[in-house]
Amino acid sequence: MADSSNGSSEPVVCKYKLPTVKFTKLFINGEFVDSLSGKSFETIDPRTGQLIGRVAEGDKEDVDLAVKAARHAFDNGPWPRLSGFERGRIMMKFADLIDGHVEELAALDTINAGKLFSIGKAVDIPQAAHGFRYYAGAADKIHGEVLKMSGELHGYTLHEPIGVVGHIIPWNFPSNMFSMKVAPSLAAGCTMVLKPAEQTPLSALYYAHLAKLAGIPDGVLNVVTGFGATAGAAVASHMDIDKVSFTGSTEVGRVVMQAAATSNLKSVSLELGGKSPLIIFDDADTDKAAQLALIGILFNKGEICVASSRVFVQEGIYDELVKKLVEKAKAWKVGDPFDPSVGHGPQVDKKQFEKILSYIEHGKREGASLLIGGKPSGDKGYYIEPTIFADVKEDMLIAKDEIFGPVLSLMKFKTVEEAIKCANNTKYGLAAGIVTKNLDVANTVSRSIRAGIIWINCYFAFDKDCPYGGYKMSGFGRDMGMEALHKYLQVKSVVTPIYNSPWL
């Protein structure tokens, strides 16, 4: 099995000084407040399964208050009426404040989501700050265009903020997702209500505190913690929310879209599940390809919607690559996410932990060959060993369903045409990877796979300027890039007659 930390069967819990949880109430209209019901819910440390604390449980009435604040801030407040430059200046200050609290924010995501502390400090939190700077730079570049009308008319377009936005974000990347949703909508001039996942509410509340310090006006950003079936449903169905942006499972995305349709037909963007293929051709460097395959499934303990959970290997290098992949997995260290030598920490909660283990049992029963892993790691917390299955058939559950854990399915192919067919044999279309030295193959395959982002000889190559989203049941709409800004804008055409003009 993979190294479970220092040769022990139980991951070592590091003696890092845990952060003090400062914010546990709802953030509405610039203030931290209790839920109207007075209810709260537990938030759990997945490293141990023990209680971190209790967080205010918002529901429909609290969402109503938050939307009222956001609506007032949009209709009457300064934020949409500030120049783009002024909005950008405040967002830059917000980014600076995030940079000043990197360690505390990273620690909150570690104790709340089981994320690696070292990656949080080096990547997640700096990237959240970078997201605010990127869209701060775009805030004063929002403009329409002059139209060439066919008659004696002058026409132009305006890009106006869409209004009050409801953001519903998942638990696997709490900081990245907060920035990914909030930054472009702030730049556009929108106001918003954000509901973080109930598993990981802590960093979102801290970001709300920093937003206040940065000078974002009251009511512009509201954070309502609570459960999807109550607070999330209230956001999706609210008659005074103009747009919902949701990242999460395809099943819940369907419910969000239905709620939007049956309420006020609000605009919806959805970034949903994935079952992404990584296709490795015979000419690939097997060591590099094995490393990409390993990182593609084990990064963030497999809790990432673009995980390369289906790896297709051309038959000429299949045996060699599988051998290297298993060797690398054996050296992978599972343990406390505060330990800088660890490869991945615990799954986010008990429910996800048990779901992943049930899929592993499905894989065994359906006849896939378990090469490594397949078991919990340790006696405490929600740790699972890196798990690799070979001899996987495309109709097996482990090859069809999004598992969202460190479970890899290996399959063999012969031809380019077969690889394309297998890659597209899924209801999802979020991402794909291609490993080859042949440019013609890379071009053909990248244009043939129905997915929103294709990585060639790399994986997880995200960038703030690179749009990201899905085909098919992986959703629609794009995060990141200028496309993300545009989805929070309405296009208005303005036309006026031209009299006695010497030219049109």
Q: Tens of pLDDT along 192-242?
A: 999 999 999 999 999 999 999 999 999 999 999 999 999 999 999 999 999
> Nearest Cα to 12, choosing from 276, 254, 342, 239?
342
* Residues facing residue 437 across a β-bridge: none
Once rounded to an integer, what is the mean pLDDT over residues 478-496?
Answer: 98
Looking at the predicted structure, is the pLDDT value of residue 105 above 70? Answer: yes
For residue 158, CA distances in Å to 146, 215, 431 come to: 9, 27, 33
* Residue pLDDT, tens place only, 434-485: 999 999 999 999 999 999 999 999 999 999 999 999 999 999 999 999 999 9
Looking at the predicted structure, is the pLDDT value of residue 9 above 60? Answer: no
Once rounded to an integer, what is the mean pLDDT over residues 93-101?
Answer: 98
For residue 12, what pLDDT is reported?
52
* Residue pLDDT, tens place only, 285-307: 999 999 999 999 999 999 999 99
Once rounded to an integer, what is the mean pLDDT over residues 131-148?
Answer: 97
* Residues facing residue 267 across a β-bridge: 243
For residue 178, CA distances in Å to 127, 175, 428 come to: 11, 5, 24
Q: How far is residue 210's CA from residue 149's CA, in Å, rounded to a whole number?
A: 47
Binning pLDDT at 50, 70 and 90, where does residue 501 land?
A: confident
Q: Which single residue is written with the structure tokens 């690696």?
A: 116
User: What token pair was written down for 378?
Assistant: 């340790």
For residue 146, what pLDDT is reported?
97
Binning pLDDT at 50, 70 and 90, where does residue 17 land?
A: confident
Q: Are strands 164-168 and 191-195 parallel, antiparallel or unpaired?
A: parallel
Looking at the predicted structure, is the pLDDT value of residue 279 above 90? Answer: yes
Alpha helices, DSSP H only, in 54-99? Answer: 60-76, 84-99
> Nearest Cα to 331, choosing from 374, 364, 298, 375?
298
Once rounded to an integer, what is the mean pLDDT over residues 421-435?
Answer: 98
Binning pLDDT at 50, 70 and 90, where does residue 15 land?
A: low
Question: To the nearest whole number, what is the mean pLDDT of the chain?
Answer: 96
For residue 432, what pLDDT is reported?
98
For residue 11, what pLDDT is reported?
53
- 373 within 8 A of 406, measured Cβ to Cβ: yes
> End-to-end alpha-carbon separation of the chain, Å?
75
* Residue pLDDT, tens place only, 306-355: 999 999 999 999 999 999 999 999 999 999 999 999 999 999 999 999 99
Once rounded to an integer, what is the mean pLDDT over residues 374-393?
Answer: 97
Q: b/e string for 179-194 if b means 16 or more Cβ within 10 A?
A: bbbbbbbbbbbbbbbb
Q: How far is residue 163's CA from residue 319's CA, in Å, rounded to a whole number?
A: 55
Looking at the predicted structure, is the pLDDT value of residue 14 above 70? Answer: no
* Residue pLDDT, tens place only, 145-184: 999 999 999 999 999 999 999 999 999 999 999 999 999 9
Catalytic residue among 271, 303, 385, 402: 271
Q: What is the value of pTM for the model shown?
A: 0.95
For residue 7, what pLDDT is reported?
36
Looking at the predicted structure, is the pLDDT value of residue 8 above 80? Answer: no
- 103 a catalytic residue: no
Burial class (CB in 10 A: 0-12, 13-18, 19+), 145: exposed
Looking at the predicted structure, is the pLDDT value of residue 1 above 70? Answer: no
The radius of gyration of the chain from alpha carbons, rounded to an integer in Å, stands at 24
Binning pLDDT at 50, 70 and 90, where does residue 16 land?
A: confident
Number of Cβ within 10 Å of residue 146's Cβ equals 9
